[in-house]
Each structure stands twice: as structure tokens, then as C-alpha cells.
Amino acid sequence: METTTALGEFLRTRRAQLRPEDAGLTPYPGRRRVPGLRREELALLAGVSATYYTRLEQGHSANASDGVLDALARALRLTGDERAHLYDLARPARPGRAPQHRPAKARPATRQLIDAMPQVPAAVLDRGNDVLAWNALGHALLAGHLDPTAPDRPADRPNLTRLLFLDPHTRELHARWEEDARTAVAALRLAVGRYPEDRRLAQLVGQLTIQSPEFAAIWARHPVRDCAVGSKSFRHPLVGPLELQFESLPLSDGTTHRLLLYSAAPDSPSAAALALLTGTLGTGTLGTGTLGTGTFETGTLGAATLGTERAAEIPVGRE
């Protein structure tokens, strides 16, 4: 990724979001050719010369001081995540020898941890959202149509962001797809700014930009957000609607891996549906198909299959 180009793009998108009136400025007379603040107006707000700001936006000034960056962040009304992103783009790591890429692996102890939580959907992700490992319930929730052993093979390893934009099953799974898509792109933007030398991130962005017009449109708006906690709505093909909370926890093992965990509110319909999904994992039988083969039919779970009377109480299938 060319961080100087990314810095200029980021600054331009944020300038475009502010009107002079919003910043307490009297607009320059005459027709405005660009939306939002002009370079001269932002330079005035930040207390720097228009020439210096122009050079910064064009990538010709690589030594911006903390004071200048802080002033720009205030003038542009950046969020905490956007402010950190501005620093990442303005001060990229010194280029050195490109590190040799070795496929990431989840530590055995981490795998043991998520397997010890059979009632919690869990997955281990790398910085680009590749799935390095998942427990049985995490696989059943997020990608039951995929081979459960796929994370063990780097060539076949699922990527949650790629699946969100390019896999029809995953798109159907996300009830608030547009919102989840914006969130995923915002998190990817933050990762790209933080790790500009990561070729795999650049390749992921390139692939999605070419193959998904929706991704390209969101990417062009340069959203930035650290999505460590939140909620997601799922339309699971086997147990129906699920409203789940998620947390993405960094692992303190010297890697940039994260632990993704989902949970449902106690005694809620989503908790009952999640328990229903958990109950299917012992036999691997889901209606007329098998978990992980993509051959199951919606709405075929029953008490005989699950060995529980609660199955009959929970509506199955899409709304």
C-alpha cells in the first residue's frame, strides 16, 4: 500500500465531510468546486500554511510534528480511531526487507481454549480476518457450509471479510448486511494503515475492489473504525434469527491474532436458538444433511434429531 497516497485520500475524504459553516468559517465567495472544506480553509483551522498542508496532502512532507497532526485531527473532528489512523498514515514504518511470509497458525493452547468453550461460538483470526481456527459452534454459526478443517490449510483458509462480500451463503446469514459490510471495511482500513507492508492485506483489498463493486464503493469513502465489540443479527438457515453480542480480544502471545467470541443475552430467544444449534453438534446431523457439507435443508430440525423437547418450541428457518 502507498501510505502517502492513502494519507492524501484520507485527508480529502474528511475535508469533504465538513462545511465551512460547521467549522465557524465564512465561506470564500464564488462557486465551490469541491464539497466540504478547501485546503486553504483546513490549513487556516489547523494553524499551518496552505502550502505546507498541500504538500502534506500530496505526500511530499513526511515529517509532520505531533502538533500539526493533533491540530489537523481537531480541525477535522476526527474520532479516536480516525486520529490513530492519521498517525499511522503520516508516519508509516520505515521500509526494510520485506519479511518472508509464513502462514500463520493458531497456538495449540489457543485451540485448546476455544475447544473448551463448546457453548460459545469462537474463532481465532489474524490481522486480515483469516480464520486460523474455530471451535465447532463457531464453525456452525459462521460458515457451516464450509469444510470445518479449512482453517488448517492456508490455501483454503476462510477469510471473514472475503466471505462477507463474495460468498452468497454468508451474505444471506447477515441480517444487517449493509451495516456489517461498512464495519468490516472500516476495520480493514485501520489494519491496512497500521500494517502498510503486509502484502496479504494489499492483495485482499485488491481482490475485493475488483470483484465487489459494493466493497469498492465503501472503501473509497475511507471509513475507519476499530470494531472490537458490538452486535450482529444473523438469519441462520438452521435455527432462525439470532441477535448476538461479539467481542474481539487481542491475544498477548506476541502475534496480532485475535479471539472472536459471540454470546446471547440470558433467557432470550437467541440464547435458546444458540443452545439449539449447540445441540446439533454431537451427531453432526442437521435435518436431511450434515453440518459442514452445505447440503442441509432449512427448517428440518426437530426434537427427534436433537434429543430435546425444546427444539419443538423454537421456530426454525428464515423469517
Distance CA 308, CA 279 (A): 8
Give the other-Cβ count within 10 Å of 88's Cβ.
22
Q: Coil, helix or strand for 246?
A: strand
Distance CA 92, CA 177 (A): 32
Are the C-beta atoms of residues 290 and 284 closer than 8 Å to each other? yes
List the grid coordinates of 294.
452445505
Distance CA 263, CA 250 (A): 17
Tens place of pLDDT per residue across the chain (319 aa): 455 588 999 999 999 998 888 777 776 666 667 778 989 999 999 999 999 999 999 887 777 899 999 999 999 999 999 999 999 999 876 554 445 567 789 999 999 999 999 999 999 999 999 999 999 999 999 999 999 999 999 999 999 999 999 999 999 999 999 999 999 999 999 999 999 999 999 999 999 999 999 999 999 999 999 989 999 999 999 999 999 999 999 998 889 999 999 999 999 999 999 999 999 886 444 433 334 334 334 443 433 233 333 333 444 333 3
Distance CA 244, CA 263 (A): 5
Alpha-carbon 287 to chain mean position: 32
